[in-house]
Amino acid sequence: MDAAPASTDAPADWSSLFDLLPVGAYRSTPDGQLLRANQALVQMNGYATEAEHITSVRDIASEWYVDPGRRAEFSRLLHAHGAVRGFVSEVWRHRTRERIWISENAHLVRDGQGQVRFYEGTVEEITDRIRTQRALERNDAQLRLISRQVPGVVYLAQVAPDGKIRFLFISEGVRDLYGVEPEEALRDGHVLQRMRHPEDDARVQQGLSRSEREAGTHVDEFRIVRRDGSLRWVQATSAPIHREMDGDHRCGLIVDVTARHEADALRQARDRAETAHHAIAGLLARISHELRTPMNAMLGFTQLLLADPALADRHRRFADESLRAGRHLLALVDDLLELGRAESGDITLQLMALDPEVALDESLALVAPLLQAQGVTVERPASPMPRLRADPLRLRQVLTNLLSNAIKYNHPGGWVAVSAGRAGAQVALTVRDGGPGLDAAQQARLFQPFERLGAERGTVHGTGLGLALSRQFAQAMGGDITAVCTPGQGCSFTLTLPAAT
């Protein structure tokens, strides 16, 4: 289609302004025919003259816009609103077919009857601006990608002279550490500051203010209180980048150090416990020394009284009870001393490969009087017991305690069964009895020191330390003791120790 004459519809005083505009200006028909183009638009499209430009363009929609659909959208907006402002599109530099970016402003020109005759508008090339914007977007995307690999929160903030904070960038780590969405922090620069623990806030703020005055790095550790009420320790490091009229720009990193603080607290608690254990062991050793001498004297004189044939029966009963009570007290002192040493790790072990049959024989010999008194029978393992690694003395003590308990807390004429077997790298020695058993609440207190589970009100004597001490010995030798009890069906205690290699 031929172009309309340039002068037909243009007023006489319009051409100079049109031609001298520093941005492109045009007039076109609604169907895409170019009617006028000023020199800036002509040069933008790679032509020398307006006539050459107009002659070369047949359809703006298909020849100029990289996406032909942009012309339809442009026309829709124009007819809907009468004008368009800042309509950004990618177009072809018409003559060279180079792709460029433009921003259009346009309006409708109507005739006396209100019918649309022309589109008139301006075109500004913004290729450099779009490329810069896209480069910034790529850099921002790369920064976010990098920041995702950094544990904690990476940020860039502006601190105004009046103290107002505005985040220019903040990584997604703020969601995990603070429970705050990045968008919220970008809207409200003080949201993280308000989450500082009240006891730490003043100190942290003083440090930040000093860092801003001295233009130095700020490093501090403090607590934050999340919105769910949970407490976390963080380490915050920040430094000024540059100072402008609108305030300081600071970049920083905030990382979660809760695990380290909890580990430090556990380590301190462990150190205090170890100190207390050593103190207890020392105290028990001194008590044992102080009690043994008078106790031995009391027991000796009581035995002398019992050896006197002239002692009256009534007094003999008193002396027997005194001797029994004294021996019980001496056994309690010995058990306390052993328990203190075991809990503080101050026990001497001579670990070696052993045949548990020997320890079982020795233990059964020690509990033989008790077996006879209770009328309890013992069933030994049917096959040879696997060799294991243990301390001979401590193994005998543990087995003796397990057998003694199985006999004492049994029915008269009851039974005890000992079995053994290999379980991977461990040997399991099990002592079962047909006694009254224990309920779940009693079983939960089974290995606590001085816990006799109500037996202290009966006729069975004991200190309540045997099982606690036996477990300490078993664990010191690299094993453990576990128990399974059923009310009315007895208990099963299993000692596990490393197998001999």
Predicted pLDDT of residue 10? 46
C-alpha radius of gyration, the chain, whole number: 47
pLDDT at 245: 73
What is the reported pLDDT for 289?
66
Record the pTM.
Answer: 0.42
pLDDT of residue 488: 86
**Structure confidence at residue 463 (pLDDT):** 56
CA distance 191 to 202: 16
Q: What is the mean pLDDT of each run of 10 residues along the chain (501 residues)?
A: 42 67 92 92 94 92 90 94 95 94 95 92 94 83 70 87 88 91 94 94 91 87 93 92 80 90 85 73 68 76 84 83 72 65 69 92 88 90 91 89 89 92 92 88 77 49 71 90 90 93 78
| Sequence-ordered alpha helix ranges (H) in 385-447 | 392-408, 440-444
Residue 52: C-alpha distances to residues 1, 49, 98, 385, 465 (Å): 14, 5, 18, 109, 109
Residues near 190 by Cβ (< 8 Å), separated by ≥ 6?
A: 164, 165
pLDDT for res 313 = 85
Record the tokens describing residue 427, joined without a space.
Answer: 């040997």
